[in-house]
Amino acid sequence: MATMESTSKAELTIKSLKSRQIFIPILLGFAVVVYMFWGEFDHSGLKHIPLTMYTLLFIICAFCMMLTRDIGYIVRLKILSDGRLTWIQCVRIIFLWEFTSTITPSAVGGTSLAILFIYKEKVSLGHSSAMVMTTAFLDELYFLVMFPILIAAINTTELFSVQSSSEQGISWGNEFFYFAVIGYALKVVFVIIVAYALFINPLGFKRFLGRIFSIRFLKRWRRGAIQTGIDLQFASSELKTKGWRFWLSSFFATWIAWTSRYWVVNFLFIAFFTVPDHLLIFARQLVMWIMMLMSPTPGGSGFAEFIFSEFLGEYIPIVSLIPILVILWRLVTYYPYLIIGAFLVPMWIKKKFVSSKSQ
């Protein structure tokens, strides 16, 4: 059974959240947008930007896609909990989880805190760990399945070609292809390791982690590594009993969540101009997300705005519209979770920690 050590650390982390941790990603993203406005903004181009009911309708559709994405995550969490969580609990956990993901680097995410959020909803620590491990596995599996399908379905030269780059198409000189390959390789390695640990040899993997982190310069992380092995072992005993319906429904909810997220940009583009190839825009967003795995900034702030303007900017016919669409994209997909979390986290801490102590 999982110990309480990792949860205690997560408790300290969530209690020590400062307002500056919320403002840092906002400032990073704002700095990039200001830079884009400074270099690319042209007031004369504003008159070509349509501001009609049609525009408003498709911006609302973009928000609806994010709502659908959240519903997909909520349904998946409900399935993974085997009825241990109510719908209200699932909603609360997802928004808390998304908030912590926005203030941590993309490569880190809010995994350890997610275990705490589920555990505090009166789910055992072992079951909480199993659920979070499974969500991570399903998320990465989506990328592993969808990326080759999209590569086969579209012109790969168009997928990686960027007008501002001297190297076009699939080439190691193309920095976007380079980032995508590294990001995808990391996801492949992650899925292989987790699949082996969950479904083939969880005990052997735990022992392997113990040996690796016994090396002198890795000893400082040994406890965390062993804890991960214990979590995986418990998750394995849980997941091996699940049937095909469980996995099919969980993956379908995952597919709905991620696919809805990528359609956000498509709807934002439709709001302002005609999109010649929706599948290509969709595929480029998936590649963008793989690249963002490399971002060291909270929630990919700064890096996300830059990648959007560079990787999708050539499909925006009005140059002045690029920074505006960047802002809209982040307003739809990122900032709502910062705002909701800023209000939700203090109330949650008060309810789960302060109130429980006074009882």
- Residue 173: what pLDDT? 46
Three-class SS of residue 298? strand
Alpha-carbon distances, residue 107 vs 44, 58, 101, 154, 300 (angstroms): 40, 31, 10, 28, 9
What is the 8-class DSSP label of residue 352? I
Q: Which of 100-114, 118-132, 154-168, 198-212 has the least mean pLDDT?
A: 154-168
Residue-wise pLDDT for 227-260, tens only, equals: 777 777 877 887 888 888 999 999 999 999 999 9
> What are the sequence ranges of the domains in the chain?
18-358
Taking the C-alpha atoms of residue 261 and residue 304, their distance in angstroms, rounded to an integer, is 14
Taking the C-alpha atoms of residue 29 and residue 187, their distance in angstroms, rounded to an integer, is 26
Q: Which of 14-28, 298-312, 332-346 has the least mean pLDDT?
A: 14-28
pTM comes to 0.83
- Residue 39: what pLDDT? 56
Report residue 66's pLDDT band, with 50, 70 and 90 as the boundaries.
Answer: very high
First to last CA, the chain: 27
Taking the C-alpha atoms of residue 186 and residue 140, their distance in angstroms, rounded to an integer, is 10
Beta bridge mates, 298: 105
Of 334, 305, 338, the closest CA to residue 62 belongs to 334
Q: Phi/psi of residue 76, each to 5°?
A: -60, -45
- Residue 3: what pLDDT? 45
Residue type, 19: S
The pLDDT > 70 percentage for the chain reads 75
